[in-house]
Structure formats: C-alpha cells, structure tokens
Amino acid sequence: MGQKYSRPEPCYHGYGDQPPAKRPCICRRRSSGLLLPRGSKPDLFPHYQRPKQHTIAAEGVHFALWSSIMSVGGGLGEIFVNHDARMHIAGEHAIPELLEAHKRSKYLTNLMLLVSGVSGALAYQQTKDNYWLIGSGLMLAGIPYCALVEYPVAEQLKFLTLDAKSEKARTLLASWGGIQLGKLALAVGGATIFYWFARR
C-alpha cells in the first residue's frame, strides 16, 4: 500500500503540483523513503525536463535564503565590530574610517539586498506563498533605506572631517549605529521569513 500524505510534500524543483511518487527529482525519493543505488547521485536539477525559467525560479529559494543570511552577517559585523571600535577612538580617526568603510561596502551591501529580494520574488513565483513576497519586500526595503537614511548622514560627515571634535560630528557618529540597526532589522525580518518557510 502506498503512503498517505496529509498535505503535499514541498518541492523546489518545479514539480510541487505533482504527487511525490510521480516527481522526477530527488523529492520523490525523499518522500517515499527510497534509497539511491550505491555510487549514484541524486538528480537534483533535471534541466532537460523543464523550461529554464522554472529552473531559475526553483533556485530562488536557495539564493534568497543564503543572500539574506549574508546580509544579516554583514549588518552584525558593522554594528558590533566596526562601529563599536569607532566609538572607542578619537573622532578625527573614526570619521575617515567610517567614510572609507562605507564607500567600499555600500555596493556589496545593496547587491546582497537586491539579490535576496529578487530571489524571494522568484521563490514566490515557484511556491505561490505570499510570505515570500513579504520577505522579499523587507530585503528590498533596505535599498531605499540606505539611500534616504544612511547616505545623507555619510554626506554630512564628509563636511565634518576637519571638525571631527564638534558636538554635531559626535552626534552623527553615534547615530550611525542606530541607522545600521534599522537596516539590520529589515534584513533579519526578511531572513527569518525566508528560513521559516524554506524549511517547511
């Protein structure tokens, strides 16, 4: 007798609408409990059986998950390592270091947010689960956040490099940690949603 399923087993290879026993991917073997022959490899990516756009959409789950985790890791490092160190050195050294670090990291940070957001949208196209769109929106929200909140503070600090000991410079430098915390909150929210629904 065949196994009974209370709900469809998840499949990220483009065959989620088929019963597990009829899927040509590894999900069939995993759900049925079949073991692979010794020396054989699971057919994880049967490209020849589905359109290329379905293959890309199926990989959106993995790209969304890992790129969001990398965004969270980068945010944690900026707050608890870089910014914490800046707050313990003189302003005339801290501000140039902040500006140089921001100049080098802003493109990579925005790229990871973009990849994560687009991948979340592709995962929604594959799974039709609205929560992937919510996670995607949270990750993409980090890009305008950088442009509207983070970038203006960095521009103000550029004009205070020669007056790094002023009260305004110290206030802006201290506020940088809160700004990064807001961006981290968006990334954590998106990554949490991605992780929760990827493991279902």
Q: Same domain for 72 and 96?
A: yes
Flag whether 1 is in a domain: no
Give residue 87's domain range.
52-198
Flag whether 94 is in a domain: yes
Mean pLDDT score, 100-123 = 91
Query: Is residue 28's pLDDT more than 70?
Result: no
Residue 68 pLDDT class (50, 70, 90 cuts): very high
Q: What predicted TM-score, i.e. pTM, was given to this entire model?
A: 0.68
More confident residue, 1 or 124: 124
Query: Is residue 31's pLDDT more than 70?
Result: no
According to the model, what pLDDT value does residue 164 have? 75
Flag whether 96 is in a domain: yes
Q: Same domain for 63 and 16?
A: no
Query: Is residue 48's pLDDT more than 50?
Result: no
**Number of domains comprising the chain:** 2
In Å, what is the CA distance from 174 to each residue of 33, 63, 132, 161? 56, 34, 34, 15
pLDDT in tens, 143-200: 999 999 999 999 998 888 767 788 888 899 899 999 999 999 999 999 999 998 877 6
Query: Is residue 36's pLDDT more than 60?
Result: no
Q: Same domain for 68 and 34?
A: no
Flag whether 107 is in a domain: yes
